[in-house]
Structure 1
Amino acid sequence: MVQHYGDTDTLTEPPTDSATQRYEAARAAAHRAMTSVTVIPDRPPVQPPADPELPVYRGFKFGAAFFGWLITVSMTVLLTAVIAGVGVGAAYILEYTRADAERRPGTAAITAAAILVLMLCLAIYTGGYVAGRLARFDGLRQGFGVWMMALLVTVLAAGAGAALNTQYDLVGRVNRPNVSLSNDALTTGGMITAAALLILPLLAALLGGRTGQRYHDKIDSMLD
């Protein structure tokens, strides 16, 4: 015996047009709700991370130049002590006395000037290198800043010394050796030494700052 529970044709009837439209409308609304982005007008836009290549990170940095100048002063004191010790030891071994220096004043003066220029160049090169490493960018400007600070401090110290000398005659109390050189020779030698002390340390400071920056340039080139 076969039992019929209903008409099976009613189970396969497609939905009416109104039901289809409601289904598509609900589906479209759900899709719009999922893909829509709510914009908050009072909220500021998110800024991207700062780029280290931006101009704000470049230029002269006073802090880097200042610490580079401190290193320059420290190196000057250290090198002065080392050169003085080596000079005393060499004079003792070679039995070089003050009388020998007075007999050949030109050689002694040229040697002293060359050692002084070399010492200052090495000291300010180290200071420029430190400034370039600290600032990362624009090493030439950092080295120039170290040189400028050293020059300003030297000028101020020379001015203070000249003011004190006018009152207390400090230079006249110094036991200077009798140099058998003409005034023209002393003037020419002094001008050449002054020019060397002005130009060569500047070049050394620029080179030191550029060398300090090169350390960061190598790292940036490996990361790119």
Structure 2
Amino acid sequence: MAEKNSENGRPHGREKFGGFNWGAAFFGWLVATAVSVLLLALVSAIGGPIAGSSFRTGQQAASSAGTIGIIAGIVFLLVLALAYYAGGYVAGRMSRFDGGRQGLGVWIIGLVITILLAIVGAILGSQFNVLSQLSLPTVPNAGSLGIGALVTLVLVLVVTVLAAMGGGKAGRRYHRKVDRAIDA
């Protein structure tokens, strides 16, 4: 007869092998990055021509800029949620225990790398600012973006952390099924 895999509902080895796994979180972050790049490229390839052909004049496009911005923001948020869910899933699946914690690790790695890239961009931005050489339109009043940008930032942070942790828990589900099969 097979030895039971768990005592009191906890699988053997949790104390030794449980906890946070940096390797799983890192590879989950790589998957999240790859999925976000691929989905954003796909959305841009499909959405760009559709949005470009929807307006006959520049005035029509300018009058609908708010709506276009909201739709683009929602699509961007959905892409990030799917990407972080996939990254959390990979981390949860790679790690034997604590899928939610692995998903949180994916999110933390993504946040740290984003902050580091923002700092590098702020330091080196003026030296390598190729866009300043182009005559692109600017935002008329950058001060009016403050509250909207803050709300968007909080929304992105909350949605991505929940998606990553949910993906991690979903990835861990496979291991629970194996535990139940061994116990049976």
TM-score, normalising length from structure 2?
Answer: 0.83
1:64 aligns with 2:24: yes
* Structure-1 separation of matches of 2:16 and 2:56: 57
Residue type matched to 1:110 in 2? Answer: I
Change beyond 3 A, Cα 1:149–1:183: same
Q: Counterparts of 1:62-211 in structure 2 under 5 Å? A: 62-95=22-55, 99-170=59-130, 172-173=132-133, 175-177=135-137, 183-184=143-144, 186-211=145-170
Change beyond 3 A, Cα 1:113–1:97: farther
Structure 1 contact 132–212 (Cα < 8 Å) conserved: yes
Residue type matched to 2:38 in 1? Answer: L
Change beyond 3 A, Cα 1:62–1:206: same
* Structure-2 separation of matches of 1:88 and 1:204: 26
Q: Counterparts of 1:21-60 in structure 2 under 5 Å? A: 52-60=12-20
Residue-pair matches, total: 173
Q: CA deviation at 1:94?
A: 2.8
Q: CA deviation at 1:98?
A: 5.5
Change beyond 3 A, Cα 1:109–1:179: farther
Q: Secondary structure at the match of 1:158?
A: helix
Q: Secondary structure at the match of 1:59?
A: coil
Q: Secondary structure at the match of 1:166?
A: coil
Q: CA deviation at 1:92?
A: 4.7
Deviation larger for 93-102 or 202-211: 93-102
Residue type matched to 2:175 in 1? Answer: H
Q: Which runs of 5+ in 1 are unaligned?
A: 1-50
Residue type matched to 1:78 in 2? Answer: L
- Aligned-residue CA RMSD in angstroms? 2.3
Q: Name the larger-Rg structure.
A: 1
TM-score, normalising length from structure 1?
Answer: 0.69
Identity %: 40
Corresponding residue number in structure 2 for 1:222: 181
Structure 1 contact 105–180 (Cα < 8 Å) conserved: no
Which deviations, in whole Å up to 9, do the C-alpha atoms of 1:25-77 show, x marking residues without a partner? xxxxxxxxxxxxxxxxxxxxxxxxxx843411100001111110110111011
Residue type matched to 2:180 in 1? Answer: S
Change beyond 3 A, Cα 1:54–1:119: closer
- Structure with more contact order per residue of length (Cα contacts < 8 Å, sep ≥ 6): 2
